[in-house]
Amino acid sequence: MIPAVWPIPRVGIIGVGNMGGAMAARLLSQGYLVAVHDVDAQREAQAVALGAMACATATGLASSSDVVIVAVVDAAQTEAVLFGPHGAAPAMARGAMVMLCPTMAPADTERLVAGLAQRGIDWLDAPMSGGPERAREGQMSLMLACQNAVLDRHRALIEMLSSKVFHISERPGDGARTKLVNNLLAAINLAGAAEALALAERLGLSVPRTLAVIEQSSGQSWIGSDRMRRAMHGDYMPRAHTSLLKKDSQLVLGVAKEAGFAALLGEQAAALFARACDNGLATMDDASVFELLRKR
C-alpha cells in the first residue's frame, strides 16, 4: 500500500455497486478513511470487509465526510440521496464537496449543481468510464466539469481515483455531455462488435480467432475486445448492466434531438439494447447483446 498524503479528506461514497465499490476499494487501499451507504446491505458489507464504515443513511454519511462521491444509477436516485428524506446535502458543511458520477442528462446535472451551490457546497460534474477493474486500480477515466479552484483543492483525491483526468470546462453539465458522447460511440462500437462476431460464427469461423484478428486490425475497439472476450466464453456476470447502456443511449438520443442532430447509428444501437432488455437481458452484462444477435 502506498500511504496517502496526510491530512486527507474523509470520503463518503453513496452507492457501492460495481463502480462505487471499486472506488471504495481503491481509496481504502491507499489509506483513505471511507464511509459508505447503499440500499444493498451486501454491497455495504463487502466495503466494510475492506475497512470502510457503513452508514445507515446518506445524512449520517455526509455528517462525517469532507467529500461525498455519488455513484448511484441515475438522476432520480442522485436527487433522492442528496435532497430527499435523510439526504446528504443538508448535513454537509459549507465548503464540502460532492462528486457527481452517474451518467445523466446535462439538464439534471445543472439542476443538482444549482441545489448544491445554493448551500455553499462545492461540486464536480464527474462522470466516469473504464469499468470496475480500472476503477479499482485508479486507472479509470474521469470527465470533469468544475471550477478550477475546486479541481486544485481536490486534485490529490481525483488523481488517486483516476490516471486519466480530463478537465472539460467550468460549465456544469459539460462532464455529462462528454460522457454521453462517449457512450454513444461505446454503444455503437459494442453493437457492431457483437454483430460482426455473430456473423463470423454463422459463417463457420472461430469466434476467438476472429476476435484476435480484429484486435490487431482496423475493426478493433476497446469495448468490443473487453465485452466480446467475456461473451465468447458465456460470461455475462454484470460489470455494466445491459439496462444501463439502454438508459445511456436513450439519454444521448434525447440530447442529440435537443441539439437538432440526427444520431442515425445511435438510434440503431439504442434500439438493439432496448430489444436486449425486452428479451430478458436487462440485468446481465451488456456483452449479452452477442447472445441476442447470434440467435437472431
Active site members:
179
Contact between residue 109 and residue 173 where contact means Cβ atoms under 8 Å apart: yes
Q: How far from 120 is each of 96, 98, 123, 127, 128, CA to CA, in Å?
A: 8, 11, 10, 22, 24
Residue 15 CB neighbour total at 10 angstroms = 27
Angle at 225 between CA 224 and CA 229, to 5 degrees: 115
Question: Which parts of 30-153 fold into alpha helices (H)?
Answer: 41-49, 58-63, 75-83, 106-118, 132-136, 148-153
Kindly state the cell numbers that stand for 279: 428479451
257: left (phi over 0), alpha (psi -120 to 50) or beta: alpha
